[in-house]
Each structure stands twice: as C-alpha cells, then as structure tokens.
Structure 1
Amino acid sequence: MESSLQLHTHFLTPIKPKTHTKPFTVRCSSNTNTNTNSKKQVGFVDYDKGERQVSILVPGYKNSDLPKHIRTRVQSDRFQKDWAVSEVVSKILKLNQHDDIVGLLNRWAGRFTQKNYPILIREISQTGSLEHSNQVFKWMKNQKNYCANNDIYNMMIRLHARHNQTDQARGLFFEMQKWRCKPDAETYNALISAHGRAGQWRWATNIMEDMLRAAIPPTRSTYNNLIHACGSSGNWKEALKVSKKMTENGVGPDLVTHNIILSAFKTGSQYSKALSYYKLMKGTNIRPDTTTLNIVIHCLSKLGHFEKAINIFHSMRNKRSQCDPDIVTFTSIIHLYSASGQIENCKAVFDTMVSEGFKPNIISYNALLGAYASRGMDKDAITVFNDIKKNGLRPDVVSYTSLINAYGKSQQPEKSLEVFNKMKKNNLKPNLVTYNALIDAFGSNGFLPEAVNMLHEMETNGVEPNIVTISTLLAGCGRFGKKVKIDSILDAADLRGIRLNTVAYNSAIGSYMNIGECDKALDLYKSMKEKNVKRDSVTFNVLISGCSKMSKYTEAVDFFNEMMDSNINISNEVYSSMISVYSKQGQLVEAESLFLKMKMTCGGPDVIAYTAMLHAYSTAEKWENAFAVFQEMEMKGVQPDLIACSALMRAFNKGNQPDKVFVVAEFMQDRKIPMNDSIYYEMLSACSILQDWRKTVDLIGLMEPSFNTMSVGLLNQLLHWVGKLGKTETMMKVFYKIVATGAEISNSTYSVLLKNLLAAQNWRKYLEVMEWMEDSGIEPSFDTYQNILAFAQSSGREFSVVIQDRVECLRRKSMPIKSQQMR
C-alpha cells in the first residue's frame, strides 16, 4: 500500500509548513481495476504534522449499478444513502451490538443488489467482529433479493473457526445445505480448520471422510488443515499418517505442510524427531523459512543444545539463511538464555529486537519478565511489568504470575499476595500456574498455613490442584520441619485422587528425612516401589543423605548399592553424599575410590564433592592430601566456598600446621569469600596452637563487625582464649563491645569472665561482674559464691573482710528477686 502511495505522490514538491496558516494535506488514490468489486487505495499526507495514512476503499455496487426502476426509486428517497461497502462496514463497527444495525442497513441503497452481499460479508468478517457479522448475516437472510451461496457460508464458517465457535460453524455447514448450497472443498477446509483450532482432531478426520464420500477431492489445504488439527492436539503420530496418505494420493507436501508437521512434533514434545525431520526436509527442494527455523530453535533449546540454536539465530541475522528473524525468533532466544541462566543476555536480545524495529508484544515482555522472575530479580521484573503498561499493552495472567514468582523467590511473600489481589481486582482470573506460584511463595518462605489456605481457596474458585501443587507444599513442609503438615498434605492428595509422581515422592521423603522421621520416609519409599513410580538420582540422594545425617551409615550404603543395581545414573550429589558417608565411617580408601570414579565421569567433581573429600582427609588427619585436593580444585576452575575453606583449615589445625590456616584466610579475603563461625573458630584454634597474641588481636579486629551475628559458643571461646593469655583488660574490652552490639549474653559468658578474672586475682572486677549478673536478672550460681569466698580466705585479712562483706551484700540483694520469682 505504501509503495502505491509513493508512485502517485512522487511528483509533489514538499512544501514547508511555514508558508501555510492551515495544515496542508494531499490526498491521492490508486485504482488499477475499474471493476466495481475492486479495492481502491486512498492515501492521505499531512506535511504540517508529518503524518501519512493509506486506507482501503471497497466501493461495491452503488446506485449507478442498480436497475433503472430501483435507481429511480432510491434517488427520490432522501433517507437512502449511496454508501460504499467500506463505509457501511465502518458505520456498523461504530455501533454496539445492541444498537439498530438493521435500521442502518435499511438506509443503504446497495442492499437492492444481491451482488453486494458476498462483498459485505467478506469485509466485515475480515474485521474479526463475530457479533456484528452475525447480525449482518441475519439481516441479509431476511432480504427478499438475498440468494445464498457458498462464498458467504464459507466466510462465516471461517470467522466462527477463528473464534473457536466450533458448534456454530458446524451448524452453518448444515444450514447451507438447507438453503440448497452444496458444500465445496473450501467449505470442508474451513470446517476442518474450525475443529482443528478447537483440538477436535477426530471430528476433523470424520469431516475429511465425509468430503471423500461426497466425491470432493481434497486439496493440499485440506490435508494441511487436517495435519494441523492432529498436530495441535499433540497427536503427532496421526499427523504423520495423514501426511503419508497425502503423498500416496498424489498431493505433494509444500513448505506449509512441513512446518505443520514440525509444529506437531514440537507440540508433542518430540524434539529429537523434529530435528531429524528437519534434516530430511533440507534434502528436498523446499527451502525452510522463518517459521521453520523458529521451530528448530525451540526444539534445540528444549534439548539443551543452546549453542546450535544461537548459531541458527546468528545466521538468520547475518542473512546467511535468507530468513530474517521475526519477533517469535527473538522471543525464543530470550527463553533460551533464561533457561541457561544467562539473564544479562535476555535483556541484550530484547534491546536488540527493539533497536531493529520490532515492537515487542505481550509474549516478548512476558519472556523477559519470566527470566527475571526465575532468578528472584524482583526490581527488574517490576520494571518490565511497568513497561508493559507504558507501551499500551495490558498485563495478562502470565505477567502477573511471573511477578508473583519474582517476589516469592526474593523472599517477599506479602508482595506476592498484593500482586495476586491486584490481578483479581483487574478482572483477571488466576489459573493453576498462578495459584502454584503463590503457594510456592508462601511455602518456600515458611508461611505454611497461608499456603494451605491458598490450596482451599483455589478449590473454592473451581481450580483443581495438581501434582505440582502437592509437591510444592511438601517441599515447604520439609524445609521448615512441619511434621503434621506433611501427613495432612499426603492425605489431601489421596482424598483428591492425585497420584504422587517421582517429584512428589522425592519431596515427601526428603521432608520426612529433614525432620528426623526416618521410618516414615522409608515407608513412603516402599510405597513408591510398590506403585512402580520411577525412582531417580534425587530419590536415592535424599535417602542416602538423610540416613547419613541420622548416622544410619549401613542403610545409606545399602541404598547406594541398590541404586547401582538399578542402573540409575549416579549424580554428583549422590557421589558427594557417599564420600561423606565413607568419611564418617573412617573408610578413606572407599571414599578415595569413589572420588576417582567421579573424576572419570563427563561432569567431574563439583565444589560439593571436593569439599566432601576435604572433610574425609581432615577426619583422617592427612593435611597434605587435603591441601593437594584444594590445589586440584583451583586448577580445575572449581571455585572453593567457605565450607571447603573451613574443611581445609580444620585439616591444617589437626595436622599441626596453624600458619597455613591464616594463608587460607588471606585467600578467602582475596576471593571475597564471606567468613562464618566455623572459619573464625578454626582461626582462633590456630592462634591457640601458635600462642600468638598479635594474630589474636588481628583476629579480634576481623571478628568485631560480626559480633551481633555470632553464636554464643564462639564468643565465649574468644573471651576464654584472651583471658587464658592473661589479657583480662582486653577480655573485658571485647566483652563491652559484644554487649554494645546487642549480642545475646548467657550465663556461660559470665562464667568465662569470672573464671579468668579469678585466675588473674582481679577480685574487684569479679564482684563487679557478679553485680552485672544480678542487674541482668541472672542469678550467680552456688559455685560462683564459693569460688570467691575461697579466694578471700587465701588472701590477706584486709581483703578477706571486704570480699565477704560484698558477697553478703550481693546475697541479700538477690533474696527479694528470688522470692519474687518463686511467687
């Protein structure tokens, strides 16, 4: 349309708007056909505003084409309008479905010729408005000069097919025969397409058989529609049968046929078969198009062949494949990068799509939004969500569900609920995926009652829970140790007839193991075997690791042997769990053998496996072997974490190599690996072995920012070590800093202080600390009093009297507090 406009306006000299007080516009039209049924291109250019527009005008049969006696009558009636068909359609669409459309049509002079009826139906059906088209069709059938024909019915059947109105389309098929219109190939094609869109492939097959019985030879379009009907329902085997029959009947497949079959494989999750078919397709003379390559990219992504999919994408962009990428291509690549965890590339592809002139649709926005949501990047997700609205699109159920998921993974379940309520307020009905996302947001963050309540709400609203719902709830129970909830959720699944699958069994078994219910976990595993539910590496890993935590090492080894006998692929997690089991039993040789076997697998050991081996060598007090494993870990490019560093430090301390502990600490600081209590404990142990006060001072400075998060045991160990060195003043300063951070101070902490103060014969500070205990509501023990009184007897007479008086005063002070507590 644009090119036609340019052909008719190239002679115009652009005029600057400065010379005009009114907008300067140019209108032009193009009509290469003088037939009254032809379409005309009408162009409009406004140089002042810099706007242009091209529209299509369908004149139809007008007043001048009517018989003379009718034309004379129409011209004398001022209410009759000589509108073009396009004008009639435009006026109808402006009316609501309940307005007087019949009155409008009765004012149209073109209704007096039946030749206008097919043109009118064609134009209004192309707008996609089903209600307006039905009213026009109903009015048309009531006209005296109306004559039914196949074209009108075919167009109406196709329109109902677009709106998934299958029963109505079938009704039109029978109605046209009552009007003595014999269905043709186009009619059957439209009806097959209608049932294909509705996923009713058996109906589509029956219609094809009716077509053959009516002696109407199927066209290529007929076969394509039937193949699409089978394929869109996921019945790829039936689609192949139709394709074979198509070739046998002498109708060769075209590019559309091949794309439909590829799409059938895609819908049926037969990704490998789709790629094999694509290779065969390339051996023919039919060249793939953008749709073909989009399907191939999707299948490669699902199979994890990301690099091959990216190469096809680059070849499309570089014009090597002679198929330009479209918005579907870019969206598929966004999904690919999201699945591979490369979120930065998702945004880069989205920006590239926009820069190349594509206007993102809601599916593209949802792909980017889903990528951010999968990683819990809630701020980026809400930015994309707001961009959807800014660009004139309306967020759909998928958009809101992704945002719920984003807040859930970022540990903000309350915001997930806000989004859920906002979604319902905007008249969007939550689906099963939405409810599952909200249940996961609650369950994964410890809000199990809210998660269970959401299960009841979804059932109340007519949404049936599925196995994903049950698995999500079970995983939440195991994560937060809710024993009662596990039993009730399993009962709920049984009551609703939901059969547990592998994932659900794994979640339930793992949940029982996490709360120490080994017997119930084993009973559930027996039930899993009895019901022939497939067991995988995750099943055995939760059993092995769970038994190991409860020191049931024999059972763990039995499960490992059972796994090998069942020829189930051993995952890295299982290897690591078994190395840990052998290590705890002192079976270093078995642990080393398993670690060596793991090295020969395609993946090789990961950080968890290396850490398990570090623990094994640490337990066996072989620091040289532990250090060698750590160096190998570095050489293989496996980034050590704080658990691995802690295990190596423990090996060094056990091997009397405390200096090396501080080398590991420097390594952690260089790599910005955060430190925790176990790291500080090993460093404190190294200071104790070295008897190095300077390193102790440095360690205190390193630990100070984390005093408020450290365990009481570690803080007590620090105070004890400083006091043991005779540095009581420093010990008290550290204590003051601990108190200032708001850290928890227990009776054991005061005991450490008192013991070291008494050893340093600092009885004044000893009594002062006892007063602090009284003020804090912590009653000094009997031994605390006895120790200071024994010290008083061994000291001079002058100090003995003072100490005894202070102690007696403290006892009297504690009596009212004790009696109040007894009440």
Structure 2
Amino acid sequence: MSSTPNPSPIIFDFPHSTHSPHPKSSNPAFTTHKTLISCKESKSKGALEEKKKVVFVDYDNGKHQVSTHVSGLRKADIPKHYRLRVEADRFQKDWSVSEVVERLLKLNHWDDVEGLLNRWVGRFSRKNFPLLIREITQIGSLEHSVQVFRWMKNQKNYCARTDIYNMMIRLHARHNIVDQARGLFFEMQKWRCKPDAETYNALINAHGRAGQWRWAMNIMDDMLRAAIPPSRSTYNNLINACGTSGNWKEALNVCKKMTENGVGPDLVTHNIVLSAYKRGNQYSKALSYFELMKGTNIRPDTTTLNIVIYCLVKLGQNGKAIDIFNSMKEKRSECCPDVVTFTTIIHLYSVCGQIENCQTVFNTMLAEGLKPNIVSYNALIGAYASHGMDKEALSVFNEIKKNGFHPDVVSYTSLLNAYGKSGKPEKAMKVFELMRRNHCKPNLVSYNALIDAYGSKGLLTEAVEILHEMERNGVQPNIVSICTLLAACGRCGQKVKIKSVLSAAELRGIKLNTTAYNSAIGSYLCVGEYDKALSLYRAMRTKKVKPDPVTYNVLISGCCKMSKYGEALGFLDEMMDLKIPLSKEVYSSVICAYSKQASVLARSLLIVFL
C-alpha cells in the first residue's frame, strides 16, 4: 500500500509461535514480513465546506451581497462503478451543490424538478444530500424543498438523517405550517431517526410561531421524557411561544423554571420576555423588568431599547423615549438606532401632533443611510392622515411606489383616512376602488374609515350602504362601525335612524361599550330627544358599562343647550359621586349651567318683585 508521512503508519509486527504456519527458520534467506497500513487524507474534505464570495458591492448606496458556494462531492469523488456509468452518458452533469440549487430555483415547482436532479452526478454520493437540503432550505423555497426531499427519499443510496429532518422542520416553521412539521417529526421516527435537542427546538418554534403555546409545552414534556436535556434555545423558543400568544404569565413561569434548572438567561431571553410583556400590554412591567436587567452583566441591544421606547410611548412618557433615542444616536458603537427605532419615534410625534418632527425624523433616517420599509412609510402617511393633510399623505404614498415597494392595506387605508379627515369622501372612495383594482383586499379598518368619511359629511345613506357592502363581502362590522354610524345620525338629525343602528348592533350581537353609548346619547341630544338620551344613560348604568368624562360632558352640555340646567347640575353630582375627574369640557359646561341657572333665577325674582 502507499505510504504517506502524515498521518503516521500503523505497523503490525506478528510474534513468532510454534503454531505459526511459517516458523522462524535459520535460513538467512527467510525474512519476516511486516504489514504497513496507512490512511490517505480525504480529497473531499474541502468539498463539503462553504466558500464565501462577494457577488455585488454598491459603494454609493452602501450595499453588498455575499453568497456562499458549496461544491459538494463531484464526479471524481463518487464510487468508481457510478463514475463509469455517468461518463458514458452525455446528459449527466457534474454540477456543484450550489449550481444545482440555482438551477432548481429557476424552475417552477410544477416543472420537471426530478428530471433536473436525475441529471446531477452528485446524486450518487449520499454525503451531498444534507448539503443540498441545507442550501435550498436556507433560501426558504418551501415547494422546491419539499420536492427535493421527496425525490431524495426515493434514491437507492439515501440514508435518513436527523439533521435533514431538522432542516425540513425548521423550514416548515418559517412558513407557519405546523401540521406538516409535526408530520415530519413522526416520519423521522419511522425511518429510525432519533430526534435530538435541535429537533424538539424546531418543533417548539413551529408551534410557537403559530400561537399554539400549549402544544409547545407538551413537546417540552416529551423532550424531558426522552431524557434529552433542554438547552437555552429550547427555553427561549418556549418562552417566545407563550409570549407571542399573549400569555406573558406563563412565559415568566418558563423563565423561572429555566433559571431553577441552571440554565441562565441571555440577551435573547431578556428580549423575548420584554416582547411578551409588550404583547400582553403590560408596559409598566416591561419597564420594571428592564430596570432589573440593568443590574446584570448583559448589555441591552437595539432590539431591547426598541421595545422600551415602544412601551414608553404607550404609557405617554414621550420625553423618556426621546432621551433613549438621542442616547442611541450618540453611542452608536453600543446600540445604533435602526428602522424600527425611527419608525417608533415617527409614531410618537404623530400621537403628539408634531407632524413637522415626523418628517424630520424620516429625513434623518434617510440621511443615516437606512432604507425605510413599508411600515415606516405607513407611519408617516398615518401621521399626515390624522390631521387631514391629504396632499402630503398622497406625496408619501407615491414615494412608496417610486422606491419599489407595493402599498399594502395599511397604506391604502391611511390615504383613504386622510381624504376622510379632510372632508373629501369622493376621493376616499376612489382610493378604496384603487385598492380593490390592485388586488389589495380591504379589511375592517378600511371599511370603517370609508364609513367615517361619508358619515362625517352627514351622508348617512352612503355610509349605511357601505356597511351593507362590507357584510356582503364577508367583513363583519364591529363596535367602531356602529359608533361611526351613530355619530353620523346625530349630524344628520335623523332620530329614527339612531334606533335602527342600535337595533342593528343588537341583532349582530355587538355589545355597546362606553364610546358607543356616548355617541348614541350625543346623537339623541342633538335632535332634542332628552328622554331617549336619559333612558339610554340609565340602560348604560344598568348594564354596568362605566361612564367616563366624555359621557357626562355630552349629558351636561346637551342639557345646557336644551335649557335643562337643573338636570345638568344633577349629572355633575353623579359624576362627583363616581369620583370621575372633571375635564376642561365638563368645567366649561358646568360654568355655563351655573351662569344660565343664575340668570333664570334672577329673572324670576324680578318678575315676582314687579
């Protein structure tokens, strides 16, 4: 056999024995043979490694694309009898794994995918199969990956492997296809592949993305019964499964169990817990958890601070949110603001009514070299729409298409709302029709915005027709739709329609909330129906729907307009008994009631005196 200096050869020196068929002889011509066995280095070692190469660099825009090239085992590496077979066939191609994937992606999933794979020489080496699955699953093409996997299982030299199934389960998790992911889990066991920690992690992640946190918990129990110790990724996936489902309490329990089992949380864990608080609308708890996080050796990253800024905005602590944003811009080496950060700040200024700052932040984002996404554009359109600035909103909407994005349902709805707020229902309807022509299906918010556009102009008939149209299209109205119609009835002065809208809500099983009662009471008072408004208010109290300052402001101001000053002051007493804080509007209405009542009393005394 051939001898190589590295690795060292293995030498077997057989001892002489009386039972040996070749006993030692005194004849000097007879010599003892030593067997030398050496191992050659594998030629295919480098073929299985990824080689990165830069394909495209754009220095002007600061962009680059890096692709990986995987050679795999080629014709020279496959067994000799296969090599002789393919050399005689001119249709067999010695492609690399990356070239095979590239050619597969050029095909439609209904094309002859198997025909292309059957021309690939590398199929005769089973070591190429996991490389092929890894390459095509990383790209994320589900249809092609499923077809390749099906073809692979029909090959004679295929050997089922756990890592191949893990990659397929992760791919189905990315596409939120839970049933198929679970099916692969059971299939791999039929093929005698033992699930490992990565398998369970992928399956927990699949159910977590689908919001099935109870399934994820059961899979964790199965993992423990199989005597597979959970890793940090296992716990993180399970916490994320609970958090994305809005079950933040269960997420905390898993985090506590994680610490008790000696697996310390990392930055990903902390971010998942903060996200769970955020999804559960527990903004104060998220900020408290962030303060505890500061006491650890784990430094927050951009994702952490984005969640904190979001929670501060929701709590109305805009000053603190701006301070964190400014500190991120100053300390770029630690946490650099990204598109999500800038988008949240745009929303902050929109809520505050500082529209100029919204555009300034958007321009700063562009100056920083960040490319806005569709959410950023929608936030800016929404800011303009909330103030009825339809021209500016249309300008941003056109920018979306210029920059290669496709407007989504939020983009169209925000532009529609901008025309509605500016009192242009006809243009709002044109946007609505444009949305449908571009195959963008209107949602409930879109219909409500269109109803409000017509209702705010007193066009009640058109608003009701839109309500009927949305029901015909399978979109069920909600309490916002009812509130919008009730407010429109008040503007039009059609008291008969108010009762019809209330009956329609009851017929559809829509329970009136405080806002709906406020709209209905205000509409009755606008048309002079004090008794019906009072009856509705009593029904509101009977059904234990808690009134708010707006309720009493509507009642007190309505009574003043109808010269019922005593009743207005009576509602003030009820408001004080319920310890509802007085707003500026209530103060104004009460002062008006007191002044009017005093003038009436003075006039009565004057008549008596005369």
Q: TM-score, normalised by structure 1?
A: 0.66
CA deviation after TM superposition for structure 1 residue 79, in Å: 0.8
* Aligned 1:651-730 pairs, distance under 5 A: none
Residue 46 of structure 2 is aligned to residue 35 of structure 1: yes
The superposition leaves residues 211-247 of structure 1 with CA deviations (integer Å, 9 ceiling, x where unpaired) of: 1111111111111111111111111111111111111
CA deviation after TM superposition for structure 1 residue 402, in Å: 0.3
Counterpart residue type for residue 63 of structure 1: K
Provide the residue aligned with 1:271 in structure 2. 283
Provide the residue aligned with 1:368 in structure 2. 380
User: Structure 1's 52 and 527: CA in aligned 2 closer, same or farther, altered over 3 A?
Assistant: closer
- Please give the alpha-carbon distance, in whole angstroms, between the structure 2 residues aligned to 1:130 and 1:465: 36
Q: Secondary structure at the match of 1:422?
A: helix
Number of residue pairs matched?
Answer: 557
* 1:330–1:349 CA contact under 8 A, matched in 2: yes
Provide the residue aligned with 2:5 in structure 1. none
User: Structure 1's 215 and 46: CA in aligned 2 closer, same or farther, altered over 3 A?
Assistant: closer
Residue 396 of structure 2 is aligned to residue 384 of structure 1: yes
Counterpart residue type for residue 326 of structure 1: D
Counterpart residue type for residue 577 of structure 2: D
Residue 370 of structure 2 is aligned to residue 341 of structure 1: no
Q: Work out which structure has the larger RCO, using CA pairs closer than 8 Å and 6 or more positions apart in sequence.
A: 2
- The one of 132, 148, 172 equivalent to 1:120 is 132
CA deviation after TM superposition for structure 1 residue 448, in Å: 1.1
* Aligned 1:350-429 pairs, distance under 5 A: 350-429=362-441
* 2:566–2:597 CA contact under 8 A, matched in 1: no
Counterpart residue type for residue 523 of structure 1: S
* 1:157–1:191 CA contact under 8 A, matched in 2: yes
- Please give the alpha-carbon distance, in whole angstroms, between the structure 1 residues aligned to 2:147 and 2:55: 32
Bigger Rg, structure 1 or 2 = 1
* 2:97–2:132 CA contact under 8 A, matched in 1: yes
* Aligned 1:154-169 pairs, distance under 5 A: 154-169=166-181
* 1:315–1:321 CA contact under 8 A, matched in 2: no
CA deviation after TM superposition for structure 1 residue 52, in Å: 8.2
Runs of 4+ aligned residues of structure 1 deviating over 4 Å after TM superposition are: 43-47, 49-54
Provide the residue aligned with 1:576 in structure 2. 588
Provide the residue aligned with 2:15 in structure 1. none
- Please give the alpha-carbon distance, in whole angstroms, between the structure 1 residues aligned to 2:527 and 2:295: 59
Counterpart residue type for residue 242 of structure 2: C
* 1:300–1:309 CA contact under 8 A, matched in 2: yes
Q: Which runs of no fewer than 5 residues in structure 2 stay unpaired?
A: 1-43, 603-610
Provide the residue aligned with 1:439 in structure 2. 451
**Identity in percent:** 72
* Aligned 1:199-278 pairs, distance under 5 A: 199-278=211-290
- Please give the alpha-carbon distance, in whole angstroms, between the structure 1 residues aligned to 2:221 and 2:198: 15
- Please give the alpha-carbon distance, in whole angstroms, between the structure 2 residues aligned to 1:425 and 1:216: 54
The superposition leaves residues 633-653 of structure 1 with CA deviations (integer Å, 9 ceiling, x where unpaired) of: xxxxxxxxxxxxxxxxxxxxx
Counterpart residue type for residue 476 of structure 1: A
User: Structure 1's 387 and 52: CA in aligned 2 closer, same or farther, altered over 3 A?
Assistant: closer
Q: TM-score, normalised by structure 2?
A: 0.89
* 1:582–1:588 CA contact under 8 A, matched in 2: no
User: Structure 1's 437 and 585: CA in aligned 2 closer, same or farther, altered over 3 A?
Assistant: same
User: Structure 1's 551 and 79: CA in aligned 2 closer, same or farther, altered over 3 A?
Assistant: same
- Please give the alpha-carbon distance, in whole angstroms, between the structure 2 residues aligned to 1:188 and 1:566: 54
* 1:228–1:260 CA contact under 8 A, matched in 2: yes
Structure having the higher helix fraction is 1
* 1:458–1:464 CA contact under 8 A, matched in 2: yes
CA deviation after TM superposition for structure 1 residue 379, in Å: 0.4
- Please give the alpha-carbon distance, in whole angstroms, between the structure 1 residues aligned to 2:498 and 2:336: 53
User: Structure 1's 290 and 432: CA in aligned 2 closer, same or farther, altered over 3 A?
Assistant: same
The superposition leaves residues 341-396 of structure 1 with CA deviations (integer Å, 9 ceiling, x where unpaired) of: 11111111111101111111111111111111111110010111100000000000
Counterpart residue type for residue 488 of structure 2: G
Provide the residue aligned with 2:13 in structure 1. none
Provide the residue aligned with 2:81 in structure 1. 69
Provide the residue aligned with 2:501 in structure 1. 489
Counterpart residue type for residue 232 of structure 1: T
CA deviation after TM superposition for structure 1 residue 320, in Å: 6.9
Provide the residue aligned with 1:12 in structure 2. none
Q: Secondary structure at the match of 2:176?
A: coil
Provide the residue aligned with 2:194 in structure 1. 182
Q: Secondary structure at the match of 1:360?
A: coil
Provide the residue aligned with 2:32 in structure 1. none
User: Structure 1's 96 and 558: CA in aligned 2 closer, same or farther, altered over 3 A?
Assistant: same
Counterpart residue type for residue 586 of structure 1: A
Counterpart residue type for residue 177 of structure 1: Q
Counterpart residue type for residue 203 of structure 1: W
Q: Secondary structure at the match of 2:109?
A: coil
- The one of 329, 339, 342 equivalent to 1:317 is 329
CA deviation after TM superposition for structure 1 residue 45, in Å: 8.0
CA deviation after TM superposition for structure 1 residue 53, in Å: 6.4
Counterpart residue type for residue 250 of structure 1: G
Q: Which runs of no fewer than 5 residues in structure 1 stay unpaired?
A: 1-32, 590-615, 617-823
- Please give the alpha-carbon distance, in whole angstroms, between the structure 2 residues aligned to 1:149 and 1:45: 35
* Aligned 1:498-517 pairs, distance under 5 A: 498-517=510-529
CA deviation after TM superposition for structure 1 residue 464, in Å: 1.4
